[in-house]
Amino acid sequence: MNHFDVIIIGGGPAGMQAAIRLGNFNYKTLIIEKEKSIGGKLTQWDKLFPDFYSAEELLQNLTRQLNENVSILTEQEVKDIENTSENEWTVKTADGQYSSKALLIASGYDFFNAKRKEEFGYGIYPNVITSVELEAMIKNGKITTLDGRIPQKIAYLQCVGSRDEKVGNHYCSINCCICAVKQSIEVKELLPDVEQYCFYMDLRMAGQHYEELYRTSQEKYHVQFIRGRISEAASTFDNRIQIKAENTLLSTPLKLTVDLFVLMVGMEASETTRFISQKFNISNEYGFLQSKQRYCSDNETEIKGLFLAGTCKRPMTIPKSLKDGDAAANAIFDYLKNR
Amino acid sequence: MNNFHPFVLPFTIGTVVLFIILFALFVKWLLQMDKTQKTTALKNIISFKTLKAVWEAVRECLFHRNIFRTNPVLGYMHLSFAFGWFLLIVIGKIETTFYSGTFWDEFWLAIFFRFFEDTSVTFSGSELFTQLMDACLLFVLSGIVLAVIKRFYSKIYGMKKTTKHTIVDKIALTSLWCIFPLRLLAESATAGIKHNGGFLTQSLGNLLVGLPLEHITLPLWWMYSIALCLFFLFMPFTRYMHIFTEMLLVFLRKWGVTENNQKTGYTNIELNACSRCGICIDVCPLNTEAGINNVQSVYFIKNTRYGTLTKEIADNCLMCGRCVQACPVGIESTLIRQIMRKKECFNNKDYYQYIPDKEEKQISEEKEVIYFAGCMSHITVSIPEAMKHIFAAANVKYWYMDENETICCGRPLMQQGLDKQAETLRQKNTEKILSSSIRTLVTSCPICYKSFTEEYHLPIEVLHHTQYIDRLIRQGRIKVNRSDIKVTYHDPCELGRGCKIYEEPRHVLHAVAELMNVKMEKENSLCCGYNLANTQLELEDQMKIRNAAINNLTAPKPDTVITSCPMCKRALQHGINVNIKDIAEIVDENIAK
Ligand code: SF4
Ligand code: SF4
Ligand code: SF4
């Protein structure tokens, strides 16, 4: 039986939350997920800011709430989508074809490919890593350099691939500032002797309890925040990373050698998101999907029966994505009822 | 005197004045050349080069071969004007020589011959001459028709933009366009009376017979003469000055004269040799990609010539050299631009602040090469990394000269017209280079390479890493495997058009991968848009230019795009996700263990 009321493309937080709601509304719902399991980027996270809530617990919580109306297909990449008739959507994957009355896109984001900022040496020097890789180490409870040493000094660099007109991303990714604060605290707890430096353009602590956490990271965990851009990174003979930067508050050049250099990578439209935004011609300038109207119909699109949720629209935090999934389910409910 | 009539006076005066002005200007410009330019020219005057120059002058100034190559219709237009007119003068002169039995007849006779011709005088070949002259006239007229069409519909010439005119230009242009139709009418009218026309003028003359020809003929000859006069008088102040200046330029260039780093008489000659054909507008990425169409060589040259150059125009150029490559006259407009950008900067200190005070220690060990990565390579770190591996694989001992303290080669400052600052950097680097006794310098950056080879005058061998790697492979010092990766190659402006290095990188790439061709390559390669030479360009426009280059390179669907310039690499890397590598990286990956 390949016909559903709603198909959701992407089983991340937004897609899952929408599925929970739609299932509760008694709609037959299908989630199509390209990875092995649902959860999206949540699966790569250990604890969430600002309260260190466990990502795994959240995921379990969400999974538990999915009822029998929701089917899940994993490891299925969307090959094509068609708006077959007025009220009918067809989604083709490598293995099959599925149809529905409404389609919800929750195809999310990808991390910025740090190799595109070659000056930071990612992919070239072993001890330059991304925030995602650092999170994996935190999750494992073991932070080492590639050659197995315990790092003495770690530097973080904010806004890698965000707010950078050279790579064409003018926007802020919202999550990374506070994420670096969170990670630096976790790292310090694992490695009490480590010295940490965080390079930023400006720190955006725009959520509840973010500012407090930022304060704690300085007062209690002694993370040093330096306003300045890093111009280049180079490897030393012993595989440490030498950073050249400018402290823009003091207007002085600065050189620093660290054991780990963490790039806080930003968010870009994922490949599926790009594919869909181009296919239906609802792309914004960065390849994210454009909703009908930001204020009152942020889950609808110009196309009937096509809905959006979560970070396929723009960078969002996890709570925001979840709420957006809820909102999308409500919008779909209204649509199906009045159809 | 039966070969005189007052209507020849405007023409005569115009011609005399024109040649006086031309002579004066040419003498002035030649004297304004600087010492080295003068000595170079004098040294080569009596040599085979002069003969070559004659040939080139004929080929370019009469036949316009280069324009023909780029744009056949435009070429034909220029050819019919220049060569047709030339033939009219030469054949006309031969005709009157036969007619009057002497070469030394009145010089205007050839121009107004049909009017003065005494039909009772017969001379050998007179019929043939008449027909020939008509044929030439028809040839020129066909060019005028094309020129008129071009003015109004430049698109049919495949040109997106045609050049804009000044008032003086317009007068000269109008009189030029009138000359030959007036000549046709005047000769036809005369033929109607005297029956001395050829296939064209006689046929038209016969058609005119019904009209009161006795009253029309003379005014037509007057108008013809006045049109000539106006054209000649205005010519030195218009684009048409290129007709004669181009010839002078051809000779000087053949004698080895080039632009120096300041404005000289030679610069003036180059400026005046521009025919404003507009070919440079169509090849300029600023125009084709970003829609900026008032800064290209033709406008830059015009503004410089008339003293109306603004900083915005001078600075808005990538120095990518596509226009120079395409210019049929071969004007080195990027060099002139560099000269015109020259500026004094008062705060010198800032330019060298980053240079360390303490001298590095002398290198004592025996080493084979100096490796200079260049500032740009320091932010595309995989390039020097790959070079290190290659040096190691080839067992080459090298001194990494700018590993810790990079001193810029100075070329970006040169391009901005900051000569003194650049000179200081050159001195510092030269001292460093000569402090070792190593005889080969390898650099990873085409900008540095051009600077080291052209601006440094080093007594040692300088190679770009494409050349060096090619040499290592040829000498068998590194062994590489040929992978089945498909690649396309981006010719960096500075390495390709700038230094004419096209073959070495291709040879290297053939050895390690499957090299695919792209539409615009070698001389025609597209600029990556990130060139440091342009300080005016908005980032958005820069990206449009870059994307055009990316599209060109990814069209054949390669696995990887290869370049050999850190700046190009960065530019392309910042674009949409393309896999982009430097040539050193792909070689490094394919070294046989
Ligand atoms: S959240 Fe912070 S680090 Fe991330 S893009 Fe915005 S300002 Fe930069
Ligand atoms: S600079 Fe060269 S290509 Fe451009 S208009 Fe002048 S002659 Fe033509
Ligand atoms: S050098 Fe390049 S950017 Fe400058 S005018 Fe010529 S074609 Fe245009």
Question: Distances from the Cα of B427 to the Cαs of A260, B309, B420, in angstroms?
Answer: 38, 32, 11
B573 interfacial to chain A (CB closer than 8 Å): yes
Residue to mutate (ligand 1; options A264, A317, A320; most atoms within 8 A of CB): A264
B94 & B201 share domain: yes
CATH of the domain at B316: 1.10.1060.10
pLDDT of residue B1: 47
Do residues B445 and B563 touch, judged by C-beta distance below 8 A?
no
B415 and B544 in a common domain: no
B319 Cα–ligand 3 center, Å: 5
Closest by CA to A265, choosing from A137, A124, A109, is A109
Q: What is the CA radius of gyration of chain A?
A: 21
Query: Residue B483 — φ and ψ, nearest 5°?
Result: -90, 170
A131 and A208 share one domain: yes
Total residue count of chain B as it appears in this document: 593
The answer to whether the beta carbons of residues B585 and B511 sit under 8 Å apart is no
In this structure, are A38 and A102 located in the same domain? yes
- Same-domain status, A125 and A253: yes
| CATH number of the domain residue A85 falls in | 3.50.50.60
- State the Cα–Cα distance between residues A316 and B71, nearest whole angstrom: 55
Mutate to test the pocket of ligand 2, among B77, B279, B304 (most ligand atoms within 8 A of CB): B279
Nearest CB to B385 within list A113, A115, A124: A124
Burial (CB count within 10 angstroms: exposed 0-12, middle 13-18, buried 19+), residue A260: buried
Domain boundary, last residue among A244, A266, A288? A266
Residue B29 is assigned to a structural domain of this protein: no
Q: Is residue B276 in contact with ligand 2, taking CB distance under 6 Å?
A: yes
Please tell me whether residues A135 and A276 are part of one structural domain: no
For residue B575, the chain A residues in CB contact (below 8 A) are 168
Q: Are B147 and B177 in contact (CB under 8 A)?
A: yes
- Residues B293-321: tens digit of each pLDDT: 899 999 999 999 999 999 999 999 999 99
Residues B467 and B487 occupy one common structural domain = no
Contact call for residues B20 and B225 (beta carbons, < 8 A)? no
**Same domain flag for A134 and A255:** yes
Please work out whether the CB of residue B424 comes within 6 Å of at least one atom of ligand 3: no
Of B378, B385, B569, the CB nearest to A232: B378
Q: Which residue has a Cα nearest atom 4 of ligand 1?
A: A176
Point out the ligand nearest to the CA of residue A263.
1
Are residues A55 and A45 in contact, defined by beta-carbon separation less than 8 angstroms?
yes
Based on the domain organization, do B78 and B167 belong to the same domain? yes
Query: Do A131 and A178 belong together in one domain?
Result: yes
B207 and B71, same structural domain?
yes
Contact A308, A291 (CB under 8 A): yes
Q: Where among A243, A266, A289 does a domain terminate?
A: A266
Whether residues A166 and B573 touch (CB distance < 8 A) is answered with no
CA of B316 to the centre of ligand 2 (A): 17
Q: What is the CA radius of gyration of chain B?
A: 30
Number of Cβ within 10 Å of residue A126's Cβ equals 14
Query: Cβ contact (<8 Å) for B380 and A119?
Result: yes
Domain range for A177: 114-266
Q: What CA–CA distance (Å, rounded) separates A103 from A106?
A: 10
Q: Which helix (H) or strand (E) holds B560?
A: strand B560-563
- Chain A residues in contact with B573 by the CB 8 A cut-off are 115-116, 118
Q: Is A168 on the interface with B (CB under 8 A)?
A: yes
Q: Looking at the complex, does the CB of residue A116 fall below 8 Å from at least one CB of chain B?
A: yes
Domain annotation covers residue B22: no
The reported pTM is 0.81
**Burial group, residue A85, by CB count within 10 angstroms (0-12, 13-18, 19+):** exposed
Q: What residues have CB less than 8 Å from B440, skipping those under 6 apart? A: B368, B369, B370, B460, B461, B462, B463
Residue B75 located in a structural domain: yes
Q: Is A112 on the interface with B (CB under 8 A)?
A: no
Are residues B313 and B373 both part of a single domain?
A: no
Q: Which residues of chain A have pLDDT under 70?
A: 1
B451-457, Cβ contacts within 8 angstroms, sequence gap of 24 or more: B451/B409, B451/B410, B451/B411, B451/B414, B451/B426, B452/B372, B452/B409, B453/B499, B455/B410, B455/B411, B455/B414, B455/B422, B455/B426, B456/B426, B456/B429, B456/B430
Whether residue A96 lies within 8 A of chain B, CB to CB, comes out as no
Q: Does residue A277 share a domain with residue A262? A: no
Q: Is residue B372 part of a domain?
A: yes
Instruction: For residue B398, give the DSSP letter.
Output: E
- CATH code for position B488: 3.40.50
DSSP SS3 for B67: helix
Single out the residue in B237, B267, B292 at which a domain terminates: B237
* Claim to verify: residue B463 and residue B494 sit in the same structural domain: no
Whether residues A61 and A127 share a domain: the answer is: no
Residue finishing a domain among B340, B375, B407: B340
Count of domains forming chain B: 4
Q: Do A118 and B543 touch (CB under 8 A)?
A: no
Count of other CB atoms within 10 angstroms of residue A8:
33
Q: How many CB atoms lie within 10 A of CB B55?
A: 12
Residue ranges, chain B, pLDDT below 50: 1
Atom of ligand 2 nearest to the CA of B242: 7
Which residues on chain A are in Cβ contact (under 8 Å) with B405? Answer: none
Give the count of domains, chain A.
2
Cβ–Cβ < 8 Å for B72, B63: no
Question: Residue A175 CA: which ligand 1 atom is closest?
Answer: 1
How many helical (H) and strand (E) elements, i.e. helices and strands, does chain B have? 28, 8
**Does any domain span residue B20?**
no
Question: Do both A235 and A156 map to the same domain?
Answer: yes
Give the residue carrying structure tokens 């280049």: A232
**Within this chain, do residues B72 and B216 fall inside the same structural domain, yes or no?**
yes
> Residue A333's CB: how many other CB atoms inside 10 A?
17
Structure tokens at B326: 């395409």
CB A334 within 8 A of CB A132: no
State the DSSP H helix or E strand holding residue B441, giving kind and residue range, or none if neither: strand B440-443
State the ligand closest to the CA atom of A204. Answer: 1
Same domain (yes/no): B218, B149: yes
Range of the domain at B282: 257-340
pLDDT in tens, B215-260: 899 999 999 999 999 999 999 988 889 989 999 999 999 999 999 8
Residues 6+ apart with CB under 8 A from A142: A190
Does B128 map to a domain? Answer: yes
Helix (H) or strand (E) holding B406: none
How much distance in Å is there from the Cα of B380 to the middle of ligand 3? Answer: 25
Tell me, letter by letter, the H, E, C secondary structure of chain A. CCEEEEEEECCCHHHHHHHHHHHHCCCCEEEECCCCCCCHHHHHCCEECCCCEEHHHHHHHHHHHCCCCEEEECCCCEEEEEEEECCEEEEEECCCEEEEEEEEECCCEEECCHHHCHHHCCCCCCCEEEHHHHHHHHHHCCCCCCCCCCCCEEEEEEEECCCEHHHCECCCCCCHHHHHHHHHHHHHHHCCCCEEEEEECCCCCCCCCHHHHHHHHHHCCCCEEEECCEEEEEECCCCCEEEEEEECCCCEEEEEEECEEEEEECEEECHHHHHHHHHCCCECCCCCECCCECCCECCECCCCCEEECHHHCCCCCHHHHHHHHHHHHHHHHHHHHCC
Q: Identify the burial level of A139 via C-beta atoms within 10 angstroms of its C-beta, where 0-12 means exposed, 13-18 middle and 19 or more buried.
A: middle
Asked if A234 has any chain B CB less than 8 Å from its own CB, the reply is: yes
Query: Is the domain of B496 the same as that of B559?
Result: yes
Q: Give yes or no: residues A18 and A53 share one domain.
A: yes
Nearest alpha carbon, ligand 1 atom 2: A177
A153 interfacial to chain B (CB closer than 8 Å) = no
Q: What is d(CA B198, CA B234) in angstroms, rounded to the nearest whole number?
A: 32
Three-class SS of residue B146?
helix
Kindly report the backbone phi and psi dihedral angles of residue A263, in degrees, each rounded to the nearest multiple of 5, phi listed first: -95, 120
CB contact under 8 A, B381 and A168: no
Identify each DSSP E strand in B341-383 by its residue range. Answer: 369-372
Torsion sign over Cα B69, B149, B239, B324:
negative
- A250 & A280 share domain: no
SS3 B581: strand
CATH number at residue B402: 3.40.50.1860
Q: What pLDDT does B385 receive?
A: 93
Give the pLDDT confidence score for residue B345 in this predicted structure.
Answer: 63
DSSP assigned state of B180: H
- Residue A45's closest CA among A178, A163, A154, A161? A178
> Among the atoms of ligand 1, which is closest to the Cα of residue A173?
5
Tell me, yes or no, whether B13 lies in a domain. Answer: no
| B589 in contact with A, Cβ within 8 Å | no
Interface test with chain B among A115, A117, A124, by most B beta carbons within 10 Å: A124
User: B167 and B73, same structural domain?
Assistant: yes
Domain boundary among B471, B496, B511: B471
Clarify whether residues B293 and B368 are in a common domain.
no
Q: State whether the beta carbon of B280 lies less than 6 angstroms from ligand 2.
A: yes
Task: Look at A118 and B570 and tell me if their CB atoms are within 8 Å.
Answer: yes
Q: Does residue B465 lie in a domain region?
A: yes
Question: Same domain for A98 and A29?
Answer: yes
Mutate to test the pocket of ligand 3, among B318, B494, B531 (most ligand atoms within 8 A of CB): B318
Domain end: A266, A281, A300, which one? A266
Of A165, A234, A253, the CB nearest to B381: A234
